[in-house]
Chains A and B, each alone.
Chain A
């Protein structure tokens, strides 16, 4: 059970633990995949009891704010929670079962303002040594993701969406029909279960590896959640049985769990407040208009240590894609011949500098002493972390 692994990992880290960084990383961010002759075919299959349950922390997407008043009102009371993940691999298939608390069963009932509860899993198109993880919010231009989503529809039906994506707004439906899905409400426990079963080797995408990155997202229809209004996890890794992990890849992913990788959060906080809050905001804290830069309230839950380090030192290599730059007009510029306003700089995190690749508008802090970067990363990793709460009850199917 990996409850609030981040806290745990930090605690271990502070205490100069003896175990190597990779062990700590796999304990914190790893999901042990069980082995069975066949993957259980339904959400209620007793076979799932044999799989280890891993509780993964999820937090609201707050990097960008969308424009639905109803959904935004619900965001004022963010509810960090968790999703219990079980996974089983057979010789040919991989199955991932998600289970999460939800006070109400919300299905899309054909109304203009009705939203169905939903869940999705995300995996990088390419992964392995030397391949950085995609941006958690549906990938980025340099690192694409596949996304599979289930949504609760009227009369017990479930809609499945398969897509590939390279950043906000780029999600594109893809015929990845080899992914089988299921979703069912558990009235007794008031929990949803969602199931994703796929071949280990599909024509477009293979997960036949010891270490497979994966992330999770949940949508609560009662909170008008859809699209960018959701809760999501950071990147985790599935640890498939019977395969030896690539030590180089694991070592790359394990940054943050080694001695000296991460510094002092208190010192980091002072620096973040003196430097980063010129452009970024953390809820009510910050000196800039909202949307000048990605919002950081939950950045610690949603990001890996290495992503946080890269985004400080080489922001263009850890780009947050633009949502929709038209959300902000530049009223100081003249309108075009038809009266259209030019878009402003707010919300334009990435700009094309003519080189063909988008560049971050954030200045890089590559010259900053490593110790200070480590302090900043230590503090950022605390942001949005769920308050300690007991593991989800009833986690056994």
Chain B
């Protein structure tokens, strides 16, 4: 649908669930004007119901024949969860801390719960933004033609001039990453920080990530780390590929270790603490192969051999992790443009599909 596609890779082995990404997104985009309940970026604990609660069972996406599936529109109060107040004034006079509203569900209600029994319990974090899919369910569902993919980078946006707040996009997104703004009576979603992208900067969530788990670049940029992780090493996989929307956020799945313990507290060799079947249910059939590659490259590095993959995953430099503009010259031109012109899309890239950028100069 678009000429080029920008993508993000998240290395789940390094996500510590600190929610810095969530906060950077919220303070930039969703702390006001009807968006207060929304988390365009959230970090949920897996296994678990996630955000909104049980989103994986809410339909949307495409069936095996490629037909858009029915889906549901989540409820703000029972599925997303809303903030609540505490009696903070009263605790000064010795009262116990108490919530002022009945607590039913919150956006991260099941944090760190995971699955399995001690000492073999397990959990990992799954940060989620809009996947800016190549075949978006939201775009297919909109009866108004209000949702579009930008030609120059494939970012999926909602045209508020055309959006009538009908919410079929929310039902159509299998990841439940479109939100209804009740104040504006319009649907809204992660915009991949496109004003930052147009200035050559990565999305705020990626820039602020403490664990440096996020890589951003164009899929057709063969020199880029995103391209290498997705196509060269095939260690970065889309979430729930069976939904048929071809997501453009990719995940390096978590390694299944450390080993489980037996009844005597001894490690069971080659045991999988995180069941691979579970990981496969999230990341599809490439999961086992991806984990094998990461393990093998890890071993190489342990043995003192060079490993490009390990060097990439270590994430030495933002400059290498984020390859957004082709050349510093082009960037400079964008910076020089008068302010009014900033609203228009970035200049068309000369490189379109399989041709690649040859620059090795990082943008930041």
Interface residues of A (CB under 8 A from B): 66-70, 72, 108, 110-114, 159, 161, 168-173, 224, 226-228, 289, 291, 323-324, 326-331, 335-341, 344, 346
Known: A326-B135, A329-B244. A69 touches B141 (CB 8 A): no
Q: Which residue of B lies closest to A340 (CB)?
A: B134
- Distance A205 CA – B62 CA, assembled complex (angstroms): 42
For residue B2, give the distance in angstroms from its CB to the closest CB of chain A: 6
Asked if B205 is at the interface (CB within 8 A of a chain A CB), the reply is no
Q: Which of B71, B142, B219 has the most CB of A within 10 A?
A: B142
Query: In whole angstroms, how far apart are the Cα atoms of A346 and B165 in the complex?
Result: 26
Q: Which residues of B contact A112 (CB under 8 A)?
A: 73-76, 80, 167, 170, 179-180, 182
Task: With a 10 A CB-CB cut-off, give which of B2, B59, B65 has the most chain A CB atoms.
Answer: B65
Interfacial chain A residues near B140, Cβ < 8 Å = 324, 326-327
Q: Shortest 5 CB-CB distances between A and B: which pairs?
A: A329-B66, A326-B140, A340-B134, A339-B246, A338-B5
| Minimal beta-carbon separation of B273 from chain A (angstroms) | 32
Chain A residues contacting B167 (CB-CB under 8 Å) are 68, 112-113, 226
Could you say which residues of chain B place their CB within 8 Å of the CB of A227?
Answer: 143-144, 164, 166, 168
Q: Are B353 and A344 interface neighbours, CB within 8 A?
A: no
A338-B230 Cα distance, complex, nearest whole Å = 12
Instruction: Select from chain B the residue with minimum beta-carbon distance to A65.
Output: B70
Contacting residues, chain A, for B69 (C-beta < 8 A): 67
Task: Indicate if the CB atoms of A111 and B182 lie closer than 8 Å.
Answer: yes
Does B72 interact with chain A (Cβ within 8 Å)?
A: yes
Q: Check if A326 sits within 8 Å of B139, measured CB to CB.
A: yes
Chain A residues in 8 Å Cβ range of B72 = 68-70
A110 to chain B: which residues have CB within 8 Å?
A: 182-183
Bound Cα distance A323, B166 (Å):
14
Which residue from B76, B171, B246, B353 sits with its C-beta under 8 Å from A68? B171
By the criterion CB–CB under 8 Å, are B68 and A327 in contact?
A: yes
CB distance from B334 to the nearest CB of A (A): 23
- Interface size grouping (class) on chain B: 35 or more
Give bound CA distance, A133 to B299, whole Å. Answer: 73
Q: Does B67 have its Cβ within 8 Å of any Cβ on chain A?
A: yes
**Contact among A67, A324, A328, A344 with B145 in the assembled complex (CB-CB below 8 Å):** A324
CB < 8 Å: which of B62, B71, B154, B185 contacts A329? Answer: B62
Chain A's closest residue to B179 (CB) is A112
**B11 beta carbon closer than 8 Å to chain A:** no
User: What is the distance, in angstroms, from B151's C-beta to the closest C-beta of chain A?
Assistant: 11
Contact with A331, one of B2, B65, B145, B246 (Cβ below 8 angstroms): B65
Report the minimal beta-carbon distance from B237 to chain A, rounded to whole angstroms: 13
Task: Decide yes or no: A113 and B73 within 8 Å by CB, A326-B135, A329-B62, A338-B2 being known contacts.
Answer: yes
Which residues on B sit within 8 Å (CB–CB) of A70? 72-73
Closest residue of chain A to B166, judged by CB? Answer: A227
Given contacts A111-B77, A340-B134, contact A324 B70 (CB under 8 A): no
* A338 contacts B154, C-beta separation under 8 Å: yes
Residues of B at under 8 Å CB distance from A?
1-2, 4-5, 59-60, 62, 65-77, 80, 134-135, 139-145, 154, 161-162, 164-168, 170-172, 179-180, 182-183, 185, 219-220, 244, 246, 248, 353-354
Q: Can you list 27 residue pairs at the A/B interface with Cβ under 8 Å?
A: A66-B141, A66-B143, A67-B141, A69-B59, A70-B72, A108-B182, A108-B185, A112-B179, A113-B73, A169-B143, A170-B145, A226-B166, A227-B143, A228-B143, A326-B135, A327-B140, A329-B66, A329-B67, A329-B244, A337-B353, A338-B1, A338-B134, A338-B154, A338-B246, A340-B2, A341-B244, A346-B67
A327 vs B135: C-alpha distance when bound (angstroms): 10
Q: A169-B143, A326-B139, A337-B354 are known contacts. Are A68 and B134 too (CB-CB below 8 A)?
A: no
Nearest opposing residue in chain A for B77, CB measure: A111
Docked complex Cα distance between A328 and B67 (Å): 5
Kindly provide the distance from the CB of B9 to the nearest chain A CB, expressed in whole angstroms. Answer: 15
Assembled-state Cα–Cα distance A215/B354 (Å):
52
CB closest residue in chain A, given B241? A339
Q: Are B70 and A68 in contact (CB under 8 A)?
A: yes
Q: Are A327 and B71 in contact (CB under 8 A)?
A: no
* Residues from chain B with Cβ under 8 Å of A340 in the complex: 1-2, 134-135, 246
When C-beta atoms are compared, the residue in chain A nearest to B37 turns out to be A112
Measured CB to CB, the closest approach of chain B to A325, in angstroms, equals: 9
| Contacting residues, chain B, for A69 (C-beta < 8 A) | 59, 70-72, 171
A228 to B168, CA, bound (A): 10
Q: Is the CB of B71 within 8 A of A113?
A: no
Given A69-B71, A112-B74, A339-B5, 15 more pairs with CB closer than 8 A: A67-B171, A68-B171, A69-B171, A70-B72, A112-B76, A113-B73, A161-B164, A226-B165, A326-B68, A326-B139, A326-B140, A327-B141, A331-B65, A338-B248, A341-B66
The docked-state distance in angstroms from the alpha carbon of A82 to that of B345 is: 49
User: Closest approach, in angstroms, between the C-beta of A318 and any C-beta of chain B?
Assistant: 21
Q: Are A111 and B76 in contact (CB under 8 A)?
A: yes
Which residues of chain A are within 8 angstroms of B4 by Cβ–Cβ distance?
A: 338
In the complex the two chains form, is B143's CB within 8 Å of A68's CB?
no
Q: Which of A110, A168, A341: most chain B CB closer than 10 A?
A: A341
B67, B134, B179, B248 interface centre (most CB from chain A within 10 Å) = B67
* Residue in A closest to B218 when the chains form the complex, CB atoms: A338
Query: In the complex, how many angstroms separate the beta carbon of A206 from the nearest chain B beta carbon?
Result: 27
Interchain nearest-CB distance for B41 vs A (Å) = 18
Of all chain A residues, the one with the shortest Cβ separation from B353 is A337
Bound Cα distance from A343 to B185, whole angstroms: 29
Q: How far is A17 from B135 in the complex, measured between Cα atoms in Å?
A: 57
Q: Which residues of B contact A67 (CB under 8 A)?
A: 60, 68-71, 141, 168, 171-172
Tell me if A341 and B135 are in contact (CB < 8 A).
yes
Measured in the bound complex, the distance between the Cα atoms of B146 and A227 in whole Å is: 13
B66's partner among A66, A72, A159, A344 (CB-CB below 8 A) is A344
Q: Is B164's CB under 8 angstroms from A336's CB?
A: no
Chain A's closest residue to B162 (CB) is A172
Please, which residues of chain A bring their CB within 8 A of the CB of B77? 111
* Complex contacts, B68 vs chain A, CB 8 Å: 67, 326-328
Q: A170: which B residues are within 8 A, CB to CB? A: 145
- When distances are taken between beta carbons in the complex, the residues of chain A under 8 Å from B62 are 329
A323 touches B134 (CB 8 A): no
Min CB gap A392→B, angstroms: 29
CB-CB nearest in chain B for A110: B182
Smallest distance from the beta carbon of A394 to chain B beta carbons, Å? 32
A341 in contact with B246 (CB, 8 Å): yes
Determine if B144 and A66 form an interchain contact, defined as CB atoms under 8 angstroms apart: no
CA separation between A99 and B171, bound complex, in Å? Answer: 31
Query: Is the beta-carbon distance between B65 and A338 smaller than 8 angstroms?
Result: no
Of B76, B166, B246, B354, which one neighbours A113 at CB under 8 angstroms? B76
CA–CA, A111 to B76, complex, Å?
A: 6
B80 → chain A closest CB, angstroms: 7
Known: A112-B179, A112-B180, A324-B145. Is A68-B75 also a contact (CB below 8 A)?
no
B66 touches A330 (CB 8 A): yes
Complex contact B144–A169 (CB within 8 A): yes
**Known contacts A112-B179, A324-B145; A331 and B66 CB within 8 A of each other:** yes
